Chains A and B, each alone.
Chain A
Amino acid sequence: MTPRETAIAIRGLRKAFGGQPVYSGFDLDVKRGDILGIFGPNGCGKSTLINMAAGLLPKDGGEILYDGREVSEIRVGYVFQNYREALFPWRRAADNIRYPLRRMGLPKAQVEARLTALAERFRVRFDLNRYPYELSGGQQQLVSIMRALAVEPEVLFLDEPFSALDFETTLALRDLLQRVLKDLGITTLLVSHDLEESIVLSDRLLMLTRRPTTVADDVPIVLPWPRAAAALASPDFMALKARCLDVFQRAVAA
């Protein structure tokens, strides 16, 4: 990779919880525009990794740079697993999406323009003037995703974004999200505990081991975009899944 192509560079990352090392000298480069899936056994530090990358959790050592800049110097979006606890229930859905734009200090006209554009891009058919608790789970998570993308982030973090949703909703939201992310070419870190989902949504899948965490495998996912539900049955997909499952089982057993 040439430096210009590198969106995220992690060097010598260290993190320990209560004296137990999770990361001790972890390196990673992520290409601009790539969706990097992060998959591994429970407690291996998937969320820890993206929380440190997003600046939500302090790191013990090492550096995480975005084109040479710290996370505080770039625009980021973050979608939490639990949309119920991440959205502001005292604000209407539209005001939730406007919130980060107002924090950026954008003039009102531009805020409204972005809101309209997002609603079109995500083909929103429900009323954004409702309160989050008046929406279905899928609609709430869609609002969370729109809120994260409103600032036109340079990097997007997705922490198990679909794990609280039913299968049908997950499929629909997954289709919508991959289309938008590929249209916009946003560099994305996705943590998922669903292997199939990790493969479908990623350009590259990072398989992590148990603690202390290292990379068990780094799998390029060369499947054509968009990846509709039918792609789940393709031989290429099945082969990738078999390989990943094998790596995972060895990573857990090790």
Chain B
Amino acid sequence: MRALVAPVAGAVGFVLLWQLAVWARIADPILLPPPAEAFAETWHAFAAGTLAHDTWRTVERTGLAFLIASAIGVPLGVALGAAERLYRGVEFVVDFFRSTPASALFPLFLILFGPGEGTKIAVAAFGAALVILFNAAYGVINARRTRVLAARIMGATAPRILVDVLIWEALPQILVGMRSGISLALVIVVVAEMFIGSTDGLGHRVINAQMLFESGLMYGVIFVAGALGYLLNLGFLLLEKRFVHWSGR
């Protein structure tokens, strides 16, 4: 309970600051509506079901992109990590595209996947897959040498060592990669929803609200997107604690 005091106080402080800024008329009320108005407009949008639908669409796209990214990134990363010399060969390419802003890839993916759902999910999956792959590979490469030797001396063959030791050793790092991956996927999906012919999703909603001067709603949708990112991150942290119980001990 006491752990909640500080974050709640911080959030309340933030809203207060916002209200103060409104009272002080720091900006035009059309650009900066009072928090109560933003809350009411967001609540109405949820009650009408439209914002819930937009949120769900974003979750769906992010989830799908993340699943594709994990299905490719984890096995490929583990395999590359186990063949370290091979990984050193592709490391530059992985690093390069990992550092490339995913938004710069939109035009290319538009050509490949067309202006529909495919492109949004593919770009997000591509960005997330590289992060996941990179982390999985490093998890395997940094596996404790002693454990590998211990397994070998106990009669484990190379494939058995991969399954019984390397994957477990890499698991904490794999989950870190997945956590970063899902956050990145959310970022890319929201941007894609803004600019690539969308009719729904949080990105679409936020830019629509801006263009229609529904500034209260615009702020609300930003916070919904923020809450989504925060919860995804938190969920993964809990998963890590649960499944990597030995980490750091």
Contacts and interface: CB of A to CB of B under 8 A. Distances in A.
Q: Do A and B come from one complex?
A: yes
Interface of A: 54-56, 76-78, 80, 82, 85-90, 99-100, 103-104, 131-133, 147, 151
Contact of A80 (B150, B156, B164, B246): B150
B160 interface: yes
A54 B153 contact: yes
B155 A131 contact: no
A103 B156 contact: yes
A55 B155 CA distance: 12
Contacts of B147: 85-86, 88
Given A85-B146, A88-B147, A90-B168, A151 B249 contact: no
Nearest to A82: B146
Contact of A86 (B150, B171, B246, B249): B150
A89 to B, nearest CB: 4
B155 A78 contact: no
Interface of B is mostly: helix
Given A88-B165, A89-B249, A90-B168, A103 B154 contact: yes
Interface string B228-249: 0000000000000000011001
Given A88-B165, A133-B246, A100 B154 contact: yes
Given A88-B164, A88-B165, 14 more contacts: A54-B153, A56-B149, A56-B152, A76-B153, A77-B153, A78-B149, A85-B146, A85-B147, A87-B150, A88-B147, A100-B154, A100-B155, A103-B160, A151-B155
Contacts of B245: 131
B93 to A, nearest CB: 32
Given A100-B154, A103-B160, A131 B144 contact: no
A105 to B, nearest CB: 9
B246 to A, nearest CB: 4
Contacts of B160: 103
A100 B152 CA distance: 10
B152 to A, nearest CB: 7
B153 A99 contact: no
Interface in B166-205: 168, 171
A133 B153 contact: no
A82 B145 CA distance: 11
B154 A99 contact: yes
